[in-house]
C-alpha cells in the first residue's frame, strides 16, 4: 500500500471522539499546515545529540549514573479494589508479566535503562505497543527518539497528536496515538517536543572535547624537550653524539637523579614548558564535568571527581541525588504510565509504583519515618489503619482502635483545680505556697 494512503487510513481512525478544549485550541494555533504531514518539533530532536553519549566522558558518566539508579528501582503494579484498598498484583497477572518482560529481547530493567538514556540524550522517549505475532500478547518496544516524528492534528478542531511516524532505514511506519506511549521533558518553546539536556550543555561539551583533542595532538605532534642548551661555537655531529652518550652515562637512572652537571662548551640553557594558554585544556575539561553534573543533577563526586570527597559528604550528596533527581524522575515516569499507558492497555483501575525502600541512601529517612509512626501509635495520634493507608497497605479489621500501649491524656480543661487552703486568720496557708 502507498505509505501516504496508509498514513491517512490509519490516522483517520484517531479522529473519532476527539475532545477539543480551550488549551488544545491554543496549542493548535501554533501548528502550521505542513506540520500535520511532516511532523512538529523536529528541529529540537537533533540526531547528533546521540553522539555525545559515546564521545563525552562527562555525558556518558552522568547518564550512566542516572540510568543505573533507575534500574535499581523495582516497579510494582497494583489495583484499587471496590472498597478503595490497594492490592498488589500476583506474578501471573498480565501486567506484572509485561513489566517484568516487556518483549522477548528486553527485561524490565533494560527497558528502564533505555528509556532513561533516551530522555537524557533527546529529552523524550517512545514505547511502541505491539502485539506478538506468536502469542498475541502485548509487548513494549523502545523506539529511537531521533527517528520519530510527532504528527499533530491539523486545523482548529484537530486532535492534539494525530499519530506518529517512524523513519526506519528501509521503510516508514505509522502509529496511532493509542499505539505509542510518549515520555518527554517539558519544552517551553515547543509543546509537542521534549527539551534535550544536551541543548544547554553541548557548547561546554564541545569545548571539553576540543581541549582533549588539543592535548592529544600536542603530545602526539608537538612534543618538546624539558630544556634547550646553547653552545658558544658550532658543534659537529660527533661532538653532539658524544655529549649525549656522556650525559646518559652520568645522569640517566634513578640512582643518579639530581646529580650536579657540568657541561663544557655550553654557554646558556633555557627551560621549555607549555604556556599558560596551552594549559587551559585542563580547566576546560573540569568545566565540562561541572556543567554535566549541574544539567543532569548528579553530584560531581558520583562522576569520580573525588578531590574533595569525604565519607560524610558523599552520603549526603547521594541522598540529595535521590531526593532531587531520581525520585522526581521516577515519579514523572510513573504518572505518565498510570494516566496514559495503563488505560491504553485496558487496565485503567491499576497503578504502577516504584519501590524506594530498597535504596540504602534513603534508609535513614525510612528509619526516621518508622520511629515517628511508632511514637504516634503509642500516643494514640494515629491508628494502625491510618499508618497502613499511608504506606499503601490494605486496612485490617482490628486496626481502627488506638494502640493498647497508648494512654489517653486527660483534658486540662476538665481537670478540677484544688482551691487554696485558708489559715485560721483567713489568709492562704503557708503549705499552699510551699
Q: What is the per-residue pLDDT for 18?
A: 40
List pLDDT tens digits, range 151-198: 887 666 667 888 899 999 999 999 999 999 999 999 998 888 899 999
d(CA 146, CA 77): 30
The rounded distance, in Å, linking the Cα atoms of 59 and 202 is 10
Contact 214, 208 (CB under 8 A): no
Q: How many helices and strands, by DSSP H and E, does the chain display?
A: 16, 11
Distances (CA, A) of 25 to 156, 160, 178, 193: 6, 9, 21, 17
Could you give the CA distance from residue 431 to residue 335 in angstroms, rounded to a whole number? 68
- Strand pairing report for 172-175 and 163-167: antiparallel
Q: What is the pLDDT of residue 280?
A: 62
Give every CB contact of residue 349 below 8 A, 6+ residues apart in sequence.
Answer: 79, 80
Cell digits for 363?
Answer: 534508609
Rounded-to-integer distance, Cα 53 and Cα 144, Å: 14
pLDDT of residue 118: 97
Residue 108's pLDDT is 94
C-alpha grid cell, residue 318? 547521594
What's the N-to-C CA distance of the chain in angstroms?
103
The domains of the chain are located at 3-197, 360-409
Task: Walk along the chain (434 residues) and give the pLDDT tens digit of each residue.
Answer: 455 555 555 545 443 334 434 346 666 667 766 676 677 777 888 899 999 999 998 999 999 999 999 999 999 898 887 777 778 888 889 999 999 999 999 999 999 999 999 999 999 999 999 988 888 889 999 999 999 999 887 666 667 888 899 999 999 999 999 999 999 999 998 888 899 999 999 888 888 777 777 777 766 665 555 666 666 566 777 877 887 787 777 767 767 666 666 666 666 666 656 665 555 666 667 788 889 999 999 998 888 777 666 766 788 888 899 999 999 999 999 999 999 999 999 998 899 999 888 888 887 566 677 888 888 888 888 888 888 887 778 888 888 877 766 555 555 555 555 554 444 454 444 443 33
**Phi then psi for 263, rounded to 5 degrees?**
-115, 110
Q: What is the pLDDT of residue 427?
A: 47
Average pLDDT, the chain: 78
pLDDT, residue 390, reads: 78
Place of cell 502507498: 2
Amino acid at each position: 500500500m502507498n505509505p501516504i494512503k496508509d498514513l491517512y487510513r490509519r490516522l483517520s481512525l484517531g479522529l473519532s471522539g476527539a475532545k477539543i478544549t480551550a488549551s488544545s485550541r491554543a496549542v493548535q494555533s501554533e501548528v502550521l499546515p505542513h506540520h500535520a504531514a511532516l511532523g512538529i518539533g523536529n528541529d529540537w530532536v537533533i540526531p547528533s545529540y546521540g553522539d555525545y553519549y559515546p564521545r563525552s566522558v562527562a555525558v556518558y558518566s552522568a547518564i550512566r549514573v542516572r540510568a543505573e539508579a533507575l534500574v535499581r528501582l523495582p516497579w510494582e503494579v497494583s489495583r484499587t479494589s471496590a472498597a478503595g484498598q490497594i492490592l498488589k498484583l500476583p506474578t501471573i497477572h498480565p501486567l506484572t508479566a509485561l513489566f517484568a518482560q516487556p518483549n522477548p529481547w528486553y527485561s524490565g530493567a533494560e527497558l528502564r535503562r533505555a528509556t532513561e538514556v533516551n530522555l537524557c540524550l533527546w529529552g523524550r522517549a517512545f514505547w511502541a505497543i505491539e502485539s506478538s505475532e506468536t502469542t498475541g500478547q502485548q509487548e513494549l518496544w523502545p523506539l529511537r527518539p531521533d527517528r520519530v516524528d510527532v504528527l499533530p492534528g491539523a486545523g482548529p478542531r484537530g486532535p492534539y497528536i494525530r499519530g506518529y511516524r517512524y523513519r526506519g532505514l528501509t521503510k516508514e511506519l505509522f502509529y496511532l496515538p493509542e499505539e505509542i506511549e510518549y515520555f518527554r521533558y517539558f519544552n517551553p518553546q515547543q509543546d509537542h517536543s521534549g527539551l534535550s539536556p544536551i541543548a544547554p550543555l553541548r557548547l561546554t561539551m564541545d569545548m571539553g572535547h576540543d581541549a582533549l583533542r588539543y592535548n592529544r595532538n600536542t603530545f602526539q605532534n608537538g612534543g618538546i624537550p624539558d630544556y634547550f642548551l646553547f653552545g658558544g661555537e658550532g658543534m659537529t655531529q660527533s661532538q653532539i653524539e658524544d655529549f649525549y652518550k656522556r650525559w646518559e652515562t652520568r645522569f640517566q637512572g634513578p640512582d643518579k637523579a639530581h646529580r650536579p652537571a657540568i657541561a663544557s662548551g655550553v654557554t646558556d640553557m633555557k627551560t621549555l614548558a607549555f604556556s599558560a594558554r596551552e594549559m587551559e585544556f585542563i580547566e576546560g575539561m573540569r568545566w565540562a564535568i561541572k556543567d554535566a553534573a549541574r544539567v543532569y543533577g548528579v553530584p560531581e563526586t558520583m562522576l569520580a571527581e573525588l578531590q574533595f570527597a569525604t565519607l560524610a559528604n558523599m552520603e549526603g550528596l547521594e541522598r540529595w541525588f535521590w531526593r532531587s533527581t531520581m525520585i522526581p524522575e521516577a515519579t514523572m515516569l510513573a504518572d505518565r504510565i498510570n494516566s496514559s499507558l495503563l488505560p491504553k492497555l485496558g487496565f485503567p483501575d491499576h497503578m504502577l509504583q516504584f519501590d524506594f525502600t530498597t535504596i540504602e541512601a534513603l534508609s535513614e529517612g525510612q528509619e526516621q519515618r518508622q520511629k515517628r509512626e511508632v511514637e504516634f501509635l503509642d500516643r494514640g495520634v494515629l491508628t494502625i489503619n491510618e499508618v497502613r493507608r499511608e504506606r499503601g497497605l490494605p486496612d485490617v479489621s482490628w486496626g481502627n482502635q488506638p494502640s493498647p500501649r497508648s494512654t489517653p491524656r486527660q483534658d486540662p480543661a476538665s481537670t478540677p483545680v484544688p482551691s487554696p487552703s485558708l489559715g485560721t486568720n483567713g489568709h492562704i496557708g503557708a503549705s499552699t505556697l510551699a
